[in-house]
Amino acid sequence: MKTRTTYVVGGVRIPFMKSMTAYRDVTTPELMTASLKSLVERYNLKGKVVGDVALGALMQSSANWNFAREVVQASGLHPNTPAYNVQRACGTSLETTIQIAHKISSYQIESGIAGGVDSNSDLPIMVTRSFSQKLVALNSARTLGEKLRIFLSFRPSDLKPVPPAVVEPRTGKSMGEHCELMVKEWKISRQEQDELALASHLNAAKAYKDGFYADLVFPFLGKSTDGIMRGDTTLEKLAKLKPAFDRSEKGTLTAGNSSSLTDGSSTVLLASEEEAKKNNWPLLAKIVDSHTSAVDYVAGEGLLMAPTVAVSELLKRNGLKLQDFDFYEIHEAFAGQVLCTMKAWESAEYCKTRLGRSEPLGKIDRSKLNVRGSSIALGHPFAATGAKIVGVLAKILHSAGPGKRGLIVVCTAGGMGVATILES
């Protein structure tokens, strides 16, 4: 089948804010619409038809069953623009980017928009299973006697709300608890984690000071910068924070070296070369390839170690070494998870037994890692992170000049990992 290159035109998002703060009264669809509207305005798409739009969210209400299409119809795009929902945990908007890129590369569409959103402030609170079953039965009852019998079966415990919990159903552990197991296995110290977290904040603060985010982050509700970033933090301040998941003296993951619960959304515009030239859009970077992998965390593998596999397979297919990149964007769910991933790539035993390699992948140049800050500093609205990273890396590569290469790595719940290569 004939294919062509898909290009990243640019990314647009609203500021990411700590959950239950600035966006506490904003719905998830409203957050997504805000970023999409800003993208429409920036790239002069008002009233125009785009080939397809793929959007997603994790913390989603069943009432938002046609979420992406509803957001598109509120965005200023022409109503004839189609849209659909996607979900792959924290890799959602990287997955939407990959899917739209494939549609463009296979000549199905000329341009498309990918994105994602999440809010821990607009949570879909559910009812208990027993209450739900009784309501369904009550609705189906035909006689007064049947209805009365069901009505009398209701108990106070049926009314207890069921909030969503970010835990793995098969283990009962949160992502943070799983990561605590990983850092203990890989012997990652608290100091190493705090140092990586500090670098994230300092890099993000410098990027804002340098104006890097000026055309990536658009104001919303009076906010123009990410609300979690702390450019004045220090190792001493981070060291004072108590463990958040393993509260014993052995715990090393804290609120300071972990990403925060965050509200926000992000979008990215993709196009063929012909469509970009027709609309005078920049060609920031081309999407080269991607790979998704999973690990058996229930049987004991690290929940967030799947990116090690995804990257290995991606490198094999493209004939590349881990060191053949000018920039690395490794999503910081936790500083410990990033460090475990890099340590695994350096391990001859792990690379042989798990990745099927005769030699370790080796070290990466840490000066090329998350150079404009990442999720610990900027925030992590689960489904919005991938598109945010695509927009950031595409701009970095374009600014660096032709022939530069970047690697995106995202871990997700459910023991999955997504890796993508971009080139300028």
Catalytic residues: 90, 380, 411
Contact 400, 382 (CB under 8 A): no
Q: How far apart are CA 273 and CA 286, in angstroms?
A: 10
CB atoms within 10 A of CB 367: 7
**55 closest CA partner among 13, 24, 22, 20:** 13
End-to-end CA distance of the chain: 25
Per-position DSSP letters for 40-109, written without gaps between them:
HHHTT-TT---SEEEEE-SS--GGGTTHHHHHHHTTTS-TT--EEE--BTBTHHHHHHHHHHHHHHTTS-
> DSSP string covering 261-285, please?
BEEEEEEEEEE-HHHHHHTT----E
Report the alpha-carbon distance of residue 109 to residue 23 in Å, rounded: 34
Q: How far does Cα 74 stand from its chain's mean position?
A: 23
Please give the Cα distance from 215 to 400 (Å, whole number). Answer: 17
Using DSSP bridges, classify how beta strands 262-271 and 405-412 pair: parallel, antiparallel or unpaired.
unpaired
Query: Is the Cβ–Cβ distance between 343 and 184 less than 8 Å?
Result: no
